[in-house]
Amino acid sequence: CYEKALELNPEFNEVHNNLANAFNSIGEIKKALLHFKKSKDYRSVAQVLECLYELDEQSEYQEHLKHLCKINPLNRRVSAISAYVACQNFSDNPYDFCKNPLDFIKISNVGKSDLNLNELEKDVSKLPSIWNLYNTATKSGYHTVGNLFQSNFNSIAKLEQIIKNEIELYKNYFSKNNCGFITSWPTKTNLTGWCVSLSKSGHLESHIHPSGWLSGVFYLKMPKKIKGNEGYLEFSLHGHNYKII
């Protein structure tokens, strides 16, 4: 169907992007690369890099990345693949947005705020949710639909304010770092959130949020019988099934 659509309109950018992702999902990387190059989706420039890395086209990878450093210096998905490949190759990361992402992890305990966790849990449970919501990282769990912070519950409004305060503390904590992630920090905050409730053995696949500037997680409830760091958020440079050298 996508190929037929491109016969009718070869400049249909969204179809190029969808077809590229379809080829990528079945391992047809060369065909995926061809269509990612023709797509104008904001993610496609990073996916070109990912395909070039997968195909071991090192020279073209470096040239494309060098070009992006100049014309697209704030792309979070480009930053992710660049940091990963630099780590795999034991080389310097040329993409200045956030050269060492694992240095920018911050943990806070907001449990002593006036937020009523029982009330928050009750209100969140009233929101519509879907089991294994399509096109999300959630596996064996319920995922709320839409933006959590557009609901009309006071408890969620309090949580939103707490998170915004934590974002400000986060920015101040890392303010002396001279990288694009900090120096080009957005002047306005638009908070998007959702709730995931996992069953036994439920998990979230590794992922990033390339359309967002900063990501985080707030734990509303944890299982009582856990060992060590079970159930905790795990950070890694590896994602999107990057090839491991």
Q: Where are the beta strands (DSSP E) in the chain?
A: 129-131, 138-144, 196-204
Tell me the per-residue pLDDT of 81-126, one tens digit each, with 9 for 90 and over.
999 999 999 999 999 999 999 999 999 887 667 889 999 999 999 9
Mean pLDDT of 43-67: 96
pLDDT at 113: 72
pTM over 0.95: no
Note the pLDDT of residue 51.
97
CB burial string 214-228: b at 16+ within 10 A, e below: beeeeeeeeeeeeee
Rounded Cα gap, residues 126 and 128, in angstroms: 7
Q: Which of the pair, 49 or 208, is modelled with greater confidence?
A: 49
With 0-12 / 13-18 / 19 or more C-beta atoms within 10 angstroms meaning exposed / middle / buried, residue 135 is: exposed
At 164-208, the pLDDT tens digits run: 999 999 999 999 999 999 999 999 889 999 999 999 888 998 888
What token pair was written down for 224? 């009582």
pLDDT of residue 111: 66
